[in-house]
Amino acid sequence: MFNHEQMQQLISAYTDNEVSLTERQEVEAHLKECASCQKYLSELQMVKKSLKIWSNETLSPDLEQKIKQGLAKAQPRGGGEMKNSKRAMALSLTAVMVVVAMVYVTVYQGKTRLAKHLNSAVDDIGDKFILREVGKKLDKKTWDNNIRREKSQRAFEYQQLAKVVRGADGAGKDELFEKQNADRRGTVQSQPSTSELAKGIRDEKVDQEFWGKPSGGGENIKGALNVEYMLSDKFIVAETRKENFNTEQYDRIDENGFLAAKDNPLSTFSIDVDTASYSNVRRFLNDGQLPPQDAVRIEEMINYFTYDYPQPKGDGLFSLTTQGAKCPWNKRHDLVLVGLQGKKVDLKELPPNNLVFLIDVSGSMQPANKLPLLKKSFELLVEQLRRKDRVSIVVYAGAAGVVLDSTPGSEKEEILEAIDRLEAGGSTAGGAGIELAYRIAQENFITHGNNRVILATDGDFNVGVSNDDDLVRIIEKKRNEGIYLTVLGFGMGNYKDSKMEKLADKGNGNYAYIDNRSEAEKVFVNQLGGTLLAIAKDVKIQIEFNPAKVKAYRLVGYENRMLKKEDFNDDRKDAGELGAGHSVTALYEIIPAGVDDSEEVDDDGDTDTSFSKVDPLKYQATKIINSGDLMTVKLRYKEPKEETSQLLQQRVKAEDIAEESPDENFQFASAVAEFGLLLRDSEYKARASYDQVLRRAKRAIGEDEEGYRTEFIGLVKKAQSLSAGQWSDRETMD
């Protein structure tokens, strides 16, 4: 009997061209006569085709650079055959020792002077490392100086390291290797494995980045920050400012353009915003560089600042503020500000908190931007607690179990001491974990209080539950019993961000991503109410423009938050959350109806093009309602426990547009926006200028208790001189 299965196996190999000539002929002959095998062949081909749907991804330029640098480091310099491997080992040993030193230093930070010295040495390594790469494009003299400095620095460090490692009880060093070698069954390796090197490359960059300057944005996924990303931006910028800027470093932002109100009367977006871009821009400017254009997300810069919007009246959760005036950078246009203010909850009035911190102290939490930052953040939080609050600390991995029993918030010393004792490292221990954390929360449950487990981790976390489905079940069960889950992410790449949020979501909690000290301050001090208490979720804004009054409009920023107009009323569509006391600001640049654009010629000699490129409709006659409104602002939100949204509306009348708004909020927000347009060299910047920005910002500086606005003014000045310098550089280069 003819064996079809065998034939099919042949056909399978045939589709891969893995058959001999005779086999090929056999298959082809058979296919001519057998319909079912023909079918089989085409099915296989379809399978092959559909597999391709899972397409390839690219390396981020950042990863590529890191690997190249790692290779260059590991590679012996210069020729010689036998010596190479020894040198490579020595170099990689040095690299790992530096990593070990940084780790060691992290753990015992502040306890030795050496630690401080090494910190600054490491700080320098970061910068020099970069300079050296950039040095390839600089002149030889600078390059030589850099190399010399770096060599002598490394020699010095190696010396110091030798002292440290020999002198101390070696605990730091062994801990690191122990963790890495846990699965090598006790044999401690005396030379670094490449996996350590590779991991070292990743962590080292993270450490350098953190010790150097505060990091910030870089990605446009909500709440997400990619620390590692930052380093390569830094060294690319220096060399490419003078050449074509490589726009692949950041996801390209295609700015929102002007839309004709007649064709697109609705503008819809989610309020979910970070403030990361501002921190990032700040970092570049403090380093003496202009930030890459795509790193400037204007809405994040505007929202970094707090504005003096009125509190909602009565039981309301929000207040909606609208302001209009002439657009400062384009006098033919108007600028409308939409401000959303969440209800502030006085910290004293916050319901009593029953908090259980579940902290990941596994080895991977060692770098500075993880456990040490976490500890600092908790210290900030503890300062805010009251007698009616209770705090407990549970750790997992390392010292298993309860580090601090439930303690009143007034016993600050005791709590702070317990936090201080936390150390990363050590092998995995069974035992304590999320179940323990919830148990303690249960035992100290406060009726009508905020009962919450706060999980702090870098993501690589063994929660002590045997499988993940159990974990989710526990979280959901506890949520139904009134114990919520907040998740704090430290030092993680942005790809895990949405998952962390999802877990917090299941736990009816919130999540925050803490990447540096200033962010920790924001989350735990300035916006503590918002952190502990979200007042609304799925908050969306939709604005309808009146074509009779508005010819065209442009939303400044929020490119990544845009929603489809149908999503506004669709309660199934997620959007952002608003914490207590948080505010959100959006600016629309408006071309009023009746402004004759054909006369408008800007500096380059271009004229504004007409906006409506759409043919008039044939089967519908749009009747524009007679109204004095400029636009209507609608807001949808859900209370934290609800699944149905509520609606708020507010009209903005055309006559409300003033010549120049005296309102500080408007002045300052528009100054920040104008600054953003300049940094982006936006095609919509029109007559924006640094002087204008400074003038308005200075006038609107207000109380500025935290000093952020003053800092802003300083940054604008820096940017101003940098961009002036850039122009003169170009001239001398010609």
Partner 1 sequence: MGKKDEELIADVQAGDPVALEELFMRYKISILNYALRMLKVRADAEDITAEVFLVLSSRSQTYQPVAKFSTWIYTIARNLCVSRLRKRNRFVSLWFKKDGEGELVAFDVPDPNAHDGQGHDQKDMAVYVQRAIAKLPLKQKEIVILREYQNLSYEEISQVLAISLAQVKILIFRARERLRVDLDPLIKEASDV
Q: Using CB under 8 A, which residues numbered 206 to 265 contact partner 1?
A: 221-222
How many Cβ atoms sit within 10 Å of the Cβ of residue 264?
A: 17
Which residue, 72 or 647, is less far from partner 1 as judged by CB? Answer: 72
Q: Give the shortest CB-198-to-partner 1 separation in angstroms.
A: 4
40 to 69: interface string for partner 1, x by CB under 8 A:
---xx-xxxxxxxxxxxxxx---xx-xxx-
CA geometry: angle at 361 spanning 462 and 375, to 5°?
135
Report 149-178 residues binding partner 1 (CB under 8 A).
none
By three-state DSSP, how is residue 514 classified?
strand
Which residue, 117 or 199, is less far from partner 1 as judged by CB? Answer: 199
Residue 283 CA to residue 186 CA, distance in Å, equals 44
Which residue, 358 or 631, is less far from partner 1 as judged by CB? Answer: 358
Does 95 sit near partner 1 (CB under 8 A)? Answer: no
Report H helices in 368-483. Answer: 371-384, 412-420, 434-443, 468-480
Does 565 sit near partner 1 (CB under 8 A)? Answer: no
* Cα distances (Å, whole numbers) of residue 175 to 267, 366, 374, 530: 55, 11, 20, 38
Report 338-377 residues binding partner 1 (CB under 8 A).
none
By three-state DSSP, how is residue 433 classified?
coil
Which residue, 461 or 513, is less far from partner 1 as judged by CB? Answer: 461
| CA–centroid distance for 331 within its chain | 35
Q: Which of 107, 295, 575, 671 binds partner 1 (CB under 8 A)?
A: 575
Q: Give the shortest CB-135-to-partner 1 separation in angstroms.
A: 17
Does 466 sit near partner 1 (CB under 8 A)? Answer: yes
Kindly write down the DSSP assignment for every residue of 97-134, as one continuous string.
HHHHHHHHHHHTTTS-HHHHHHHHHHHHHHHHHHHHHH
**Pick from 324, 296, 299, 328: which is nearest to 696 by CA?**
328
Residue 601 CA to residue 720 CA, distance in Å, equals 25
Does 35 sit near partner 1 (CB under 8 A)? Answer: no
CA terminus-to-terminus distance, the chain: 84
Report 280-319 residues binding partner 1 (CB under 8 A).
none
Does 187 sit near partner 1 (CB under 8 A)? Answer: no
Does 195 sit near partner 1 (CB under 8 A)? Answer: yes
Do the Cβ atoms of 301 and 586 come closer than 8 Å? no
Which residue, 92 or 583, is less far from partner 1 as judged by CB? Answer: 92
**Pick from 309, 268, 331, 330: which is nearest to 632 by CA?**
268
Which residue, 181 or 720, is less far from partner 1 as judged by CB? Answer: 181
Residue 275 CA to residue 270 CA, distance in Å, equals 15
Which residue, 69 or 661, is less far from partner 1 as judged by CB? Answer: 69
Kindly write down the DSSP assignment for every residue of 331-393, as one continuous string.
TTSEEEEEEEEEPP--GGGSPPEEEEEEEE-SGGG-STTTHHHHHHHHHHHHHH--TT-EEEE
Q: Which of 471, 541, 548, 550 binds partner 1 (CB under 8 A)?
A: 471
Does 463 sit near partner 1 (CB under 8 A)? Answer: yes
Q: Give the shortest CB-574-to-partner 1 separation in angstroms.
A: 5
Does 76 sit near partner 1 (CB under 8 A)? Answer: yes
Which residue, 183 or 315, is less far from partner 1 as judged by CB? Answer: 183
Do the Cβ atoms of 382 and 419 come closer than 8 Å? yes
Which residue, 193 or 526, is less far from partner 1 as judged by CB? Answer: 193
Report 418-457 residues binding partner 1 (CB under 8 A).
428, 455, 457
Q: Which of 22, 33, 81, 315 binds partner 1 (CB under 8 A)?
A: 81
Does 198 sit near partner 1 (CB under 8 A)? Answer: yes
Tokens read off for 625: 């309602």
Size of the site for partner 1 (CB under 8 A): 87
CB-count burial class (<10 Å; 0-12, 13-18, 19+) for 232: buried
Stretch touching partner 1 by CB under 8 A, among 192-200, 295-303, 365-373, 437-445: 192-200
Tokens read off for 174: 């062994």
Stretch touching partner 1 by CB under 8 A, among 164-172, 276-284, 324-332, 488-496: 488-496
Q: Give the shortest CB-461-to-partner 1 separation in angstroms.
A: 5
How many Cβ atoms sit within 10 Å of the Cβ of residue 208?
A: 21
What number of H helices and E strands is found in the chain?
22, 16
Does 30 sit near partner 1 (CB under 8 A)? Answer: no
Residue 246 CA to residue 582 CA, distance in Å, equals 36
Do the Cβ atoms of 135 and 146 come closer than 8 Å? yes
Which residue, 54 or 727, is less far from partner 1 as judged by CB? Answer: 54
Does 567 sit near partner 1 (CB under 8 A)? Answer: yes
Q: Give the shortest CB-456-to-partner 1 separation in angstroms.
A: 11
Which residue, 107 or 485, is less far from partner 1 as judged by CB? Answer: 485
Tokens read off for 43: 């099915």
Which residue, 323 or 369, is less far from partner 1 as judged by CB? Answer: 369
Q: Which of 105, 131, 236, 563 binds partner 1 (CB under 8 A)?
A: 563
Do the Cβ atoms of 414 and 353 come closer than 8 Å? no
